[in-house]
A and B are shown apart, each in its own frame.
Chain A
Amino acid sequence: MPLTDSLRDDILASVPSLRAFAISLSGNGDRADDLVQETLLRALANIDSFQPGSNLPAWLFTILRNLFRSDYRKRRREVEDADGSYAKTLKTQPAQNAHLEFEEFRAALDKLPQDQREALILVGASGFSYEDAAAICGCAVGTIKSRVNRARSKLSALLYVEGAEDFGPDETVRAVIGGSGG
């Protein structure tokens, strides 16, 4: 489809959520904006392959997600070369403009496996349906559902359960109560 004025407006309207997605994925504002820029350039260059009437945000998110993935693999090698200095920027960057709870949440989100993190963001924050999220990630709907569930329980374990060991004695407790004939 040619780049009409209305299509251009729609792309522009998607930019705020593309940025939010990029920042949520990467945890780094500068890198996120580079990703968004690259996404827009790709999208505009390939605009002919966009099907009129299909889901434009989902199409753009797919491009960004794929770019992030390939970029991520590349960066991981760079990080190894750079002696962990890149990882240091990642840690300090979000801390600058955020209060403690946000920092904790951000840190917990960063601990999730990438598959789970992107699924949770797409469904829980971007507001995509499971079906759209599955299309964006190129996997089955059931896979997205289970990733979202695993992401949620891992986050709750990281944020709200004071150490997994707290749940350890539970079995002992139950055994004692059960043994006492209660």
Chain B
Amino acid sequence: MKLQGLNSRGSVEQVMKEVKSQAGKTAGPGKQGGLNAEIQSRIGHQLRAMYDDVVRQGVPERFAELIRKLDVPKPDPQVGNAGDPEDGRS
């Protein structure tokens, strides 16, 4: 970005001052792509940090108990045979 050669005119000088400060802002972290990649990796990192923080808490007892309790054994197939309606029909 070459800005010299424009200082001769006062009004242009002022504009270029603004341009320079703006250019400094955008040029700072590098090209648009580089800046974007850096931001995206930070976002990914923050997202996983938030998520993994909860994952690391493991299984609260409340849920372990719930899954244990509801693990009712399946009814014995013999029970079904004993109550076979066909037996009582004849």
Contact = CB atoms under 8 A, between A and B. Distances in A.
Given A12-B59, A15-B59, A152 B43 contact: yes
Contact of B63 (A15, A24, A106, A169): A15
Interface residues of A, number: 42
Q: A-side binding surface: helix, strand, loop or mixed?
A: helix
Contact of A156 (B6, B36, B62, B71): B36
A19 B66 CA distance: 15
Contact of B55 (A20, A166, A176): A20
A177 interface: yes
Given A156-B39, A159-B43, A166-B25, A20 B52 contact: yes
Interface residues of B, number: 42
B50 interface: yes
Interface string A1-26: 01100001001100111011101100
Contacts of A152: 40, 43
A18 to B, nearest CB: 9
Contact of A160 (B39, B44, B60, B63): B39
Contacts of B54: 16, 19-20, 23-24
Contacts of A16: 54-59
Given A23-B54, A24-B54, A156-B43, 13 more contacts: A20-B54, A105-B47, A106-B50, A125-B50, A125-B52, A155-B43, A160-B39, A170-B26, A176-B19, A180-B3, A180-B6, A180-B12, A182-B1
Interface of B: 1-3, 6, 12, 15-16, 18-19, 22-23, 25-26, 36, 39-40, 42-44, 46-60, 62-64, 66-67, 70-71, 74
22 contacts: A12-B59, A12-B67, A15-B64, A16-B54, A19-B55, A19-B57, A19-B60, A20-B53, A23-B54, A37-B62, A40-B67, A41-B70, A102-B50, A105-B50, A124-B47, A124-B48, A152-B40, A156-B39, A159-B39, A160-B42, A173-B19, A180-B6
